[in-house]
Amino acid sequence: MIDIKLIRENSDLVKENIKKKFQDEKLGLVDEVYEYDKTYREYKLEGDKLRAQRNELSNQIGKLMRDGKKDEAEKIKKEVSAINEKLDKLEVSEESLEHEIKTRMMVIPNIIDSSVPIGKDDSENVENEKFGEPKVPDYEIPYHAEIMESFNGWDKESAGRTSGNGFYYLMGDMARLHSAMLSYARDFMIDKGFTYCIPPFMIRSDVVTGVMSFAEMDAMMYKIEGEDLYLIGTSEHSMIGKFKDQLIKEDSLPITMTSYSPCFRKEVGAHGIEERGIYRVHQFEKQEMVVLCKPEDSMKWYEKMWQYTVELFRSLDIPVRTLECCSGDLADLKVKSCDVEAWSPRQKKYFEVGSCSNLGDAQARRLGIRVKGEKENYYLHTLNNTVLASSRAIIALLENNYQEDGSVLIPKALQPYMGGKTILKPIKK
């Protein structure tokens, strides 16, 4: 949610930003908010005047009663009563206007950074940089589900009976590899100075609407029936929500956290759930990084954060690239975002394994997270980034470390988490 001062003072900037995001249907909201806000402030000013008048009259009543002038006091009491009636009506109108303003402000997109490339959708995202040499071996690499099956490592059929499409069982070395990667990612971030956290896996609706747009919420979140609770799609939701309505001391910034959680996603949209494999599923696990910082430091942290993910994947012998998200591909709360993509030697292309985002003060405004500054309080900036999402990281590791005989090499960084194993050999071919 943007600062309403932008609409009061520079509505053209807000409209131009909406056009850059190819959301022209929202242009009218800016003028609506401007008019509602203008009326709201007029009502507020009138209300303040009436309250001042009421206070003055109330003081007169007290004096008249002390002087024994009850008749005069009763007349003034009637004036006060009339003022109270006006105030009651004004307050109802103010509340209604506040609702209308907030409803519209919540869907007006955040102001994107000037460095964001302009484009309609993800097809116009821009490659930034490649890290590591993408290789294609001279032997065939099977689909990742087939590799896992060769280790008796996964069972989709049973999960279909228990839970339906989009779920799976991991077993044996695949389950151990899954846990090893998450444990390594956890320790990797702790070594970077981040505080390790395990958050609640369910959050209330006021937290959900504080951390994401309504469109994202509808497409992603599972609601608990009969409860004001949602299953989290990523631990960022809980971690930012942790600071809801808090006034944070400036000298405690930056707050840097790395959090583990299962993630639950409906995955509603054009892609849908794959019939086979674990690339797009309803449940996976993830290590996340979250930063709360001063506004002037957020872009520095943005650069650091995506670089941490690149460093982690390179330590697992996985080539990656970064892809700058264009304006039309940015979620409404985001100022700037990039994807980290891993190389797929089977497909001979890159695929997304993580996303780094700077949300400016949008989440802080929605959740009421402020900083106690020396001169005045202000909203901090929030950032989040995927350290490692288990399902896609496994795919990248299996493909990039697959050998011609069907075995999979275990990167050196993971070997201590795999009981010293250096290679996984298939149980069946």
Interacting residues of 218 by C-beta distance below 8 A, sequence separation 6+: 268
Quote the pTM value. Answer: 0.89
What's the sign of the alpha-carbon dihedral 291, 293, 299, 303?
Answer: negative
pLDDT of residue 415: 98
What is the residue extent of each domain of the chain?
A: 4-105, 122-424
Fold for domain 122-424?
BirA Bifunctional Protein; domain 2 (3.30.930)
Note the pLDDT tens digit of each residue in 149-200. Answer: 999 999 999 999 999 988 999 999 999 999 999 999 999 999 999 999 999 9
CA atoms within 13 A of residue 54's CA, in its CB half-sphere: 16
d(CA 204, CA 227): 9
- Rounded to whole angstroms, the maximal C-alpha distance in the chain is 106
Note the pLDDT tens digit of each residue in 311-362. Answer: 999 999 999 999 999 999 999 999 999 999 999 999 999 999 999 999 999 9
pLDDT at 275 over 60: no
pLDDT at 272 over 60: no
| DSSP single-letter state for residue 317 | T
Note the pLDDT tens digit of each residue in 395-404. Answer: 999 999 999 9
**Three-class SS state of 383:** strand
**Three-class SS state of 10:** coil
Asked if 171 and 153 touch (Cβ cutoff 8 Å), the reply is yes
Span 4-105: which CATH code? Answer: 1.10.287.40
Note the pLDDT tens digit of each residue in 126-152. Answer: 999 999 999 999 999 999 999 999 999
Residue in the structure block whose two tokens are 């993971």: 414
Q: Tell me the CA distances in angstroms from 158 to 150, 154, 164, 296, one per residue in order.
A: 17, 10, 9, 51
Asked if 233 and 201 touch (Cβ cutoff 8 Å), the reply is no
pLDDT at 268 over 70: no
